[in-house]
């Protein structure tokens, strides 16, 4: 079910957050399929290093822009990925995080309304909060603390989903809303505070592996290539009246301690595990039910955690030693 694009009639595609971790892989894939791509980023967490190998591509236009301000371009599709996605970054300026999710969605949905562009919204598993339902299904409304430290991101993304569906109902904007679960791979920010990048960098430097809580909390990790494939299938291979929301992630579930031990093994590190108090509102379980993705787009992740971690470690090893 892979979408192909005619090189004689390319789509003009906008990717916000296009210099970020996931965004850069999406830009790369869209260019490879013959699209004209407008990559927008304000470089708060994204970096030109992520797209440096693409800068000479004749079909790529790069713009430094903050989505909290309107953007006036002509496009056929919009992939809205702009927002810091790790606690370290989104809690640095929580008001700006909320504005990015909410004002950014309003501005990009307004652009989609004007240009009649198809609109993909990168939502998050964080809309489920600390879930009382496991694994998480799309029909679950979540258990979110609206005034907690993570609320700027959790509630910001929940509001962005609301806006998508209201623009769809009120203005006929063609939307696709995906709830993205923990994703990892090369080009992750080394200081983003996420568990995979944290563990790998600490292991490569021989520092203690900082594990919050007792390590029994669980996460599900999806390799970035698998996620990008799912995003494109969802956007291109489903009818316009299929809006989602749809979970995109790997249903394989691991404890954080299991992840730490696997990273130590794969890096050959002598790092020891060091326990720290669990942060506020940190979810105890996280695992997607991807039955909907399997049924509608014929997708499920292919890259196993050991293989994906090996690729990611190779990237960080070059970064740390380079």
Q: What is the pLDDT of residue 2?
A: 47
- pLDDT for 281 equals 66
pTM of the model: 0.93
- Is residue 178 within 8 A of residue 170, CB to CB? The reply is no
- pLDDT in the model for residue 321: 74
Q: Among residues 128, 153, 167, 223, which one is catalytic?
A: 153
pLDDT at 191: 82
**What is 14-36 written as a DSSP string?**
EEETTTSHHHHHHHHHHHHTT-E
Residues in the chain with pLDDT values less than 70: 1-9, 86, 281, 322
Q: Which residues contact 32 (CB under 8 A, 6 or more apart)?
A: none
**Residue 153 bears catalytic tag:** yes
Q: From start to end of 188-286, where are the E strands?
A: 209-212, 218-219, 222-223, 246-248, 254-255, 273-276
- pLDDT per residue over 164-205, tens digit each? 999 999 999 999 999 999 999 999 988 887 899 999 999 999
Burial class (CB in 10 A: 0-12, 13-18, 19+), 211: buried
Which pLDDT tens digit goes with each residue over 92-145? 889 999 999 999 999 999 999 999 999 999 999 999 999 999 999 999 999 999
Q: In what order do the strands lie in the sheet with 77-80?
A: 60-64, 36-41, 12-16, 77-80, 118-124, 175-180, 246-248
Pairing, β 77-80 against β 12-16: parallel
pLDDT at position 249 is 97
């Amino acid at each position: 079910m892979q979408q192909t694009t005619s090189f004689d009639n390319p789509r003009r595609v906008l990717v916000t957050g296009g210099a970020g971790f996931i965004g850069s892989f999406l830009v790369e894939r869209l260019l490879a399929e013959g699209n004209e791509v407008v990559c927008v980023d304000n470089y708060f967490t994204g970096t030109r290093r992520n797209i440096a190998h693409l800068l000479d591509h004749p079909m790529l236009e790069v713009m430094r822009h903050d989505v909290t301000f309107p953007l006036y371009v002509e496009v056929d599709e919009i992939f809205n990925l702009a927002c810091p996605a790790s606690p370290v970054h989104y809690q640095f300026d929580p008001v700006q995080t909320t504005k990015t999710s909410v004002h950014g969605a309003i501005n990009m949905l307004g652009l989609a309304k004007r240009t009649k562009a198809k609109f993909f919204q990168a939502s998050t598993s964080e809309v489920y909060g600390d879930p009382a339902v496991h694994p998480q299904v799309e029909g679950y409304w979540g258990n979110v603390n609206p005034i907690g430290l993570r609320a700027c991101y959790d509630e910001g993304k929940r509001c962005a989903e609301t806006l998508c569906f209201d623009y769809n109902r009120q203005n006929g904007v063609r939307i696709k809303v995906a709830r993205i679960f923990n994703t990892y791979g090369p080009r992750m920010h080394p200081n983003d505070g996420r568990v995979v990048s944290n563990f790998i960098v600490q292991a490569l430097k021989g520092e203690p592996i900082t594990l919050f809580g007792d390590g029994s909390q669980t996460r599900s990790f999806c390799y970035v290539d698998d996620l990008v494939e799912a995003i494109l299938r969802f956007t291109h291979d489903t009818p316009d009246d299929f809006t989602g929301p749809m979970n995109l992630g790997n249903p394989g579930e691991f404890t954080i301690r299991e992840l730490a031990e696997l990273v130590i093994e794969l890096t050959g590190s002598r790092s020891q595990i060091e326990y720290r108090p669990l942060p506020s509102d940190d979810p105890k379980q996280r695992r997607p039910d991807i039955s909907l993705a399997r049924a509608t787009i014929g997708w499920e992740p292919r890259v196993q955690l050991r293989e994906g971690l090996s690729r990611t470690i190779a990237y960080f090893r070059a970064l740390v030693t380079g």
